[in-house]
Amino acid sequence: MTTKKSKPKKLTEKQISSAPESDYMNADQLEFFRRRLVELHDSTRARIQEAKNQMSNPIAESDINDRASTEEQSMLALRIVDREQKLLPKIQQSLERIRLGTYGYCLESDEPIGIARLLARPTAEYCTEVKAMKEKQENHYKD
């Protein structure tokens, strides 16, 4: 006798947002966030490649103002690549937490992060209270 694993339902943001708390991080929700993270990973890699292509194919400008504009665009593309490359490991870590069954829970307090926060930032690692405390500490030490 073989047992079939039921295939997770494809949920929408609206369905996830309106789900009862008892459904928090069930198989369907985890699959929703897994798909969202995979899409985010793919689109992030595409933006990185696009920015790299833009930087590797500079336009030959003879006018000093055009060259300055092209250089400014290259600097902006470089900042985009840097920011996006920092996001990729966070996406991978989130996918790993889904695999381990710890996704959606604060790394520090083990409290639920919350659907609204995960919809806004699927790579969130901390619940709102812990993140606010960490940011306050960062700002305190930064000054």
Q: Domains (ranges, CATH) in the chain?
A: 24-142 (1.20.120.910)
Q: CB count, 10 Å around CB of 122?
A: 20
Give the tens place of pLDDT for each residue, 72-124: 888 888 888 899 999 999 999 999 999 999 999 999 999 999 999 999 999 99
In percent, the amount of the chain with pLDDT more than 90 equals: 59
What's the chain's average pLDDT? 87
Q: Is the pTM of this model over 0.85?
A: no
Rounded CA-CA distance 107/64 in Å is 51
Q: CB count, 10 Å around CB of 109?
A: 13
3-state SS assignment for residue 17: helix
pLDDT of residue 4 exceeding 60:
no
Q: What are the angstrom distances between the C-alpha of 30 and each of 51, 120, 138?
A: 31, 15, 31
Bridge partners for 105 per DSSP? 112
> What is the pLDDT at residue 60?
66
8 A C-beta contact, residue 126 and residue 113: yes
> What is the pLDDT at residue 56?
76
Give the tens place of pLDDT for each residue, 46-63: 988 888 887 777 666 667
Rounded CA-CA distance 15/74 in Å is 42
Residue with tokens 């369905």: 15
